């Protein structure tokens, strides 16, 4: 049976790492919406598009992208994955009440509203294509200090996306050990930007957890502080129940 897994957690909690490990272990498609949207907003061929230019500015200052735009893009891609017959795992998406539950919430304020027309969110979309019983929600818990430390001490391969955590043995690396691509620091990984992202997370993303619980989902909390492989074992154990 195909399934959808949503992994939540603050920036630096290890959402992407766990989604990648789960993808490798169980064959789910890791739909990294953050990376997917980053590629779109930084596409040089699209910078003359006013909408893309606006979203790029939000992205580069640590703000969440416009929920209406994100929901449209994410649902389109999710539909392609489901139509191809694959299970899917998300790392931190949907990020706002509007993205999760659609037009019953105002896309900017997050307040409940009475829309003239109905737009379903990603949760309803997943229920439609995968079935509610086949949706699992995981919340990785880490301290704010860990989030800042992890994000500000890493680089990303510009070619394959491999994440390199900098320490005494890796701080001098300039090329990816996997493919030889150039290593770069993301705009998002500046300490001040990370702090802004943590505030945005608490303000706009965390309330989704409460609403998901109200809708009958169990939110499975897992300690994200241990080494990734230790966290991965707990994730696999949970999904094998």
- Contact assessment for residue 134 and residue 1, using Cβ atoms and an 8 Å cutoff: yes
- With respect to residue 207, please indicate whether it lies within any of the assigned structural domains: yes
- With respect to residue 163, please indicate whether it lies within any of the assigned structural domains: no
- With respect to residue 156, please indicate whether it lies within any of the assigned structural domains: no
Residue 115 has a pLDDT of 64
Give the pLDDT band of residue 214 (cuts 50, 70, 90): very high
Beta bridge pairs of residue 89: 5, 30
pTM, to two decimals = 0.81
Q: Strands, DSSP E only, in 96-188?
A: 135-141, 154-157, 163-165, 183-184
- Mean pLDDT value across the chain: 88
Range of the domain at 30: 4-142+192-239
Question: pLDDT tens-digit profile of 71-103?
Answer: 999 999 999 999 999 999 999 999 888 999 998
Phi, psi values for residue 199, rounded to 5°: -65, -45
How crowded is the C-beta side of 33, counted as CA atoms within 13 Å?
Answer: 27
- With respect to residue 196, please indicate whether it lies within any of the assigned structural domains: yes
Question: pLDDT tens-digit profile of 5-14?
Answer: 999 998 889 9
- With respect to residue 172, please indicate whether it lies within any of the assigned structural domains: no
Q: Which helix (DSSP H) or strand (DSSP E) does residue 146 occupy?
A: helix 144-152
- Contact assessment for residue 215 and residue 123, using Cβ atoms and an 8 Å cutoff: yes
Give the pLDDT band of residue 185 (cuts 50, 70, 90): confident
- With respect to residue 186, please indicate whether it lies within any of the assigned structural domains: no
- With respect to residue 87, please indicate whether it lies within any of the assigned structural domains: yes
Q: What is the CATH number of the domain that holds 39?
A: 3.40.50.300
Phi, psi values for residue 142, rounded to 5°: -140, 155
Q: Strands, DSSP E only, in 49-173?
A: 88-91, 135-141, 154-157, 163-165
Domain count, the chain: 1
Give the pLDDT band of residue 215 (cuts 50, 70, 90): very high
How many angstroms separate the Cα of 23 from the Cα of each of 27, 29, 183, 221, 237? 5, 6, 23, 20, 15
Given phi > 0 = left and psi -120 to 50 = alpha, else beta, which region is 68?
alpha
Q: Which has the higher per-residue pLDDT, 195 or 74?
A: 74
- With respect to residue 132, please indicate whether it lies within any of the assigned structural domains: yes
Q: Taking residues 42-64, what's their average pLDDT?
A: 87
- Contact assessment for residue 157 and residue 178, using Cβ atoms and an 8 Å cutoff: yes
- Nearest residue to 92 (alpha-carbon basis) of 40, 165, 38, 160: 38
| Weakest-pLDDT range from 38-47, 69-78, 159-168, 202-211 | 159-168
For 177, the token pair is 């050990």
| Weakest-pLDDT range from 100-109, 146-155, 165-174 | 165-174
Q: Taking residues 118-132, what's their average pLDDT?
A: 93
Give the pLDDT band of residue 167 (cuts 50, 70, 90): low
Residue 106 has a pLDDT of 79
- Contact assessment for residue 137 and residue 221, using Cβ atoms and an 8 Å cutoff: no
pLDDT at position 114 over 80:
no
């Amino acid at each position: 049976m195909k399934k959808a897994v949503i992994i939540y957690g603050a920036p630096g909690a290890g959402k992407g790492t766990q989604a990648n490990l789960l993808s490798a272990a169980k064959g789910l498609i890791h739909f990294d919406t953050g990376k997917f949207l980053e590629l779109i907003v930084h596409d040089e061929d699209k910078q003359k598009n006013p909408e893309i230019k606006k979203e790029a500015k939000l992205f580069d200052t640590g703000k969440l992208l416009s929920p209406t735009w994100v929901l449209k893009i994410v649902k389109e891609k999710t539909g392609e994955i489901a139509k191809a017959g694959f299970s899917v795992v998300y790392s931190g998406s949907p990020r706002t009440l509007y993205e999760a539950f659609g037009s019953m919430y105002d896309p900017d304020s997050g307040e409940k509203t009475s829309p003239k027309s109905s737009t379903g969110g990603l949760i309803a979309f997943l229920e439609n294509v995968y079935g509610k019983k086949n949706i699992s929600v995981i919340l990785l818990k880490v301290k704010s200090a860990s989030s800042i430390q992890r994000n500000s001490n890493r680089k990303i391969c510009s070619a394959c996306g491999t994440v390199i955590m900098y320490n005494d043995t890796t701080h001098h690396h300039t090329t990816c050990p996997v493919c030889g691509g150039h290593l770069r620091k993301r705009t998002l990984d500046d300490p001040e930007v990370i702090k802004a992202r943590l505030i945005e997370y608490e303000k706009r993303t965390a309330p989704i957890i409460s609403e998901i619980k109200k809708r009958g989902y169990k939110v499975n909390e897992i300690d994200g502080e241990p080494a990734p492989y230790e966290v991965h074992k707990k994730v696999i154990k949970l999904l094998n129940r």
